[in-house]
Each structure stands twice: as structure tokens, then as C-alpha cells.
Structure 1
Amino acid sequence: MITSIAHATIYVLNQDEALDFYKNRLGFEVGDDMQVEGGFRWLTVYPTSKPQLQLVLAEPKEGPMFSKDAAEKIRGLIEEGAFGAGVFETEDCRKTYAELLTKGVEFIQPPTEQLYGVEAMGLDNSGNWFSLVQRKK
């Protein structure tokens, strides 16, 4: 029986730059950072309060996971902004939005009242969109 999800993948254009973004701008912690067989880099980050769910920052390149053609297609989709990095929760969307703006995070929608709470929409440094959500209580 499956009991939880341990990892989710975010495809990025450059792992070093993505690590800097997720660590220094969003405030995530580094989980693992290691070279695996075949030159594959296993790089994970997580929000400080939720180490049980780690995000894999995966750079698509030819190797054990992707053919050259598949890696190029995925990189093209990343560059087009076709992927989402997920929904990041916060207790105060407006405050977190203001803090992230000062750190250089780009937003495509400011905090807006929604049926489920307050949501802002941002972009990581690869162009992946993410929601920043404060749920209604």
C-alpha cells in the first residue's frame, strides 16, 4: 500500500541556478545533492516545515532518463513556460508576496482573493509558474 508521496519533479533549465533560486529566494532547504551513475545529478529541495516532500530539480539532458530528442523537447517546453512547479502554501500570502518581491521573484499575478483563499502566481528562474496560496480558514 502506498502511504505518501516523497518526491515530485520540477524540470529546470540549469540545476545550479535553480538551486540558488529555490534556496536563496524561496527559502527552501537542500535535501540531496549528489552525482549518480551516468552523470545524472540528484538534487532535491524542500520547504523547511515539510522535509517529507522533496522537490527534485531535474535538468533534462541526454542520459539515463532521456534520449537527446526527448531532452530537447522538454527543454523547449520549459522555455515556453508550459510547466507548473506546484502550489506553495503560506499563512500570509500578501506578506510572503512582498518578501519574495524584494528577493527578485517575478510574479504574474499579485495576491488576489479566490474562493479558496488568497493566491499570487509567480515564476521560478526557469519560467515554471507556481501558485502561492493562503487557504481560507
Structure 2
Amino acid sequence: MDITLAQCFIAVDHHDKALAFYRDVLGLEVRNDVAFEGMRWVTMGSPAQPGVDIVLEPPLADPNASAADREAMAGLLAKGHLRGVVFTTDDVDATFEHIRAAGAEVLQEPLDQPYGVRDCAFRDPAGNMLRFGRPRRKG
């Protein structure tokens, strides 16, 4: 059995701000942009991983959700309580400087973690935590 990742989802509260960050700062390509029942989904991905998509979706992508549920999800997103995404990069320090220079909120400067990676962390425009790392070289 061969299982691979096809898509992951990131909740965003403003697709155009998210696009400016994920496309213009991180360099992801836009693969699809779909509107449906007052909602929008933007599919993006790294040119180096054509088979893996990141879908930017509304905080609660359910047209039948109650107003209270939509408000609760929007509140969790605003507080940064929804799960984030971990990216790999060949140069953590250069990636950090590039993203910081673009004005992203820094959560953690580059750091050698005790579990064997060097990484850094930011918040995207919607408040999601994004980590950028690579395994530390041994020796």
C-alpha cells in the first residue's frame, strides 16, 4: 500500500492577504481559485512538490454552519489556536531573514532544537503558526 499526502488545509480570514503572503513572500504557486456559496478556496503549492496542495479556506468551510459556529472559529483563528504548517527549507537562516524582511510576525528566531532540527516560526496574516526548518547536520 502506497499512501502519499495530496492536500492540507489552512484557515484564512482574508484570501487576498493570504495570497500576498503565500504567493509573494513564500513563492508558492496558485493552482486553483474557486468561489462557492459565498466562500473561497485557493489551492497553492510549491513548484518543487507538484503533487502536494495547500488549500487556503475559510475558517469554517461549511455553508450550513450556524452564525455562532462561524464566529467561534473566527475567534480561534484570530487567537492563533488553529493548527499550523511545517515547511522544510534548505537554509533556515536565509528563509527567516526573507520572511522577517517581508514584515511577518516572528514567533521564534532560528534555533537548534533538542529534537534534531534547526527551525524558526512566524504567524501568517490570519494568525496561523508556520514553522520552517531542516534536520541539523550531524558531526
Structure 1 and Structure 2 fold alike (TM over 0.5): yes
Q: Deviations over 1:41-87 (max 9, x none)?
A: 22111122112111111123685263322211110000111023210
After superposition, the Cα gap between the structure-2 partners of 1:65 and 1:113, relative to the gap in structure 1 and judged at 3 Å, is farther
Equivalent position of 1:133 in the other structure: 133
After superposition, the Cα gap between the structure-2 partners of 1:6 and 1:106, relative to the gap in structure 1 and judged at 3 Å, is same
If the length of structure 2 is used for normalisation, what is the TM-score? 0.87
Q: Does 1:7 align with 2:4?
A: no
Equivalent position of 1:116 in the other structure: 116
Q: Does 1:85 align with 2:84?
A: yes
Equivalent position of 2:23 in the other structure: 23
Residues in 1 aligned to 2:41 and 2:2: alpha-carbon distance in whole angstroms: 23
Residues in 1 aligned to 2:83 and 2:61: alpha-carbon distance in whole angstroms: 22
Give ranges in structure 2 of 5+ residues lacking alignment: none
After superposition, the Cα gap between the structure-2 partners of 1:6 and 1:14, relative to the gap in structure 1 and judged at 3 Å, is same
Paired residues of 1:25 and 1:105 also in contact (CA < 8 A)? no
Paired residues of 2:104 and 2:122 also in contact (CA < 8 A)? yes
After superposition, the Cα gap between the structure-2 partners of 1:71 and 1:51, relative to the gap in structure 1 and judged at 3 Å, is farther
Q: Does 1:52 align with 2:45?
A: no
Local SS of the residue matching 1:84: coil
Equivalent position of 1:32 in the other structure: 32
Give ranges in structure 1 of 5+ residues lacking alignment: none
If the length of structure 1 is used for normalisation, what is the TM-score? 0.88
Amino acid corresponding to residue 107 of structure 2 in structure 1: I
Local SS of the residue matching 1:104: coil
Residues in 2 aligned to 1:103 and 1:74: alpha-carbon distance in whole angstroms: 27
Equivalent position of 2:103 in the other structure: 104
Local SS of the residue matching 1:23: helix
Paired residues of 2:39 and 2:61 also in contact (CA < 8 A)? no
